Amino acid sequence: MRLSHEEFRELAAKHGLAVTHQRQVVYEAVIAAHGHYSPEDIYAAVRRRIPSISLATVYNNLRLFIECGLLREVSPHAATLRVDGNLKPHHHLVCSRCKSVQDIEGEFIDFKRLSRHVPEGFDLTQPLVEVFGLCRRCRGKNQQLRRRPLVVSPTPIADRQ
């Protein structure tokens, strides 16, 4: 999804950001991706339009967008940064094996009820649930492994010395 220069200018002004061509292209790359991508993935997409852009510039802009609320950080406790352009209430299904992340729409948390159980002084900003399991592709691989026949050696173990 490409924003007109004027649309991006309004969005940036609303969030107190200076408008630059690089910043606009980075933001558009995330929004167009409809997924949860690493800075390296976004960098590869942005380089098609701006070959001279650096990975550091992409990282810096992504961090800025997260800080001002234009993007969400996916799994902030994970080792690798991933960004999400979907700001609507949703949660994530995370594959334990391949680490893919899928959105699941809906508000499943009673924010008021949750706030009653939070330690004093902790400020809730955004309810987000991450549910871990196996995605369809990894589940299929798992089932294939289970179906493989057990290979038995024709030589008894006692005779292998």
Domain boundaries, the chain: 1-87, 88-146
Q: What is the pTM of this model?
A: 0.70
Do residues 127 and 112 make contact, with C-beta atoms less than 8 angstroms apart? Answer: no
Helices 39-47/55-68 angle, 10° precision: 120
Model confidence pLDDT, tens digit, residues 6-56? 888 898 889 999 999 999 999 999 988 888 889 999 999 999 999 999 999
Model confidence pLDDT, tens digit, residues 44-58? 999 999 999 999 999
CATH of domain 1-87: 1.10.10.10
Do residues 37 and 72 make contact, with C-beta atoms less than 8 angstroms apart? Answer: no
CATH of domain 88-146: 3.30.1490.190
Q: Which three-class secondary structure state does DSSP give residue 57? A: helix
List the one residue out of 79, 68, 98 whose CA is nearest residue 39. Answer: 79
Beta-sheet pairing, 90-95 with 82-84: unpaired
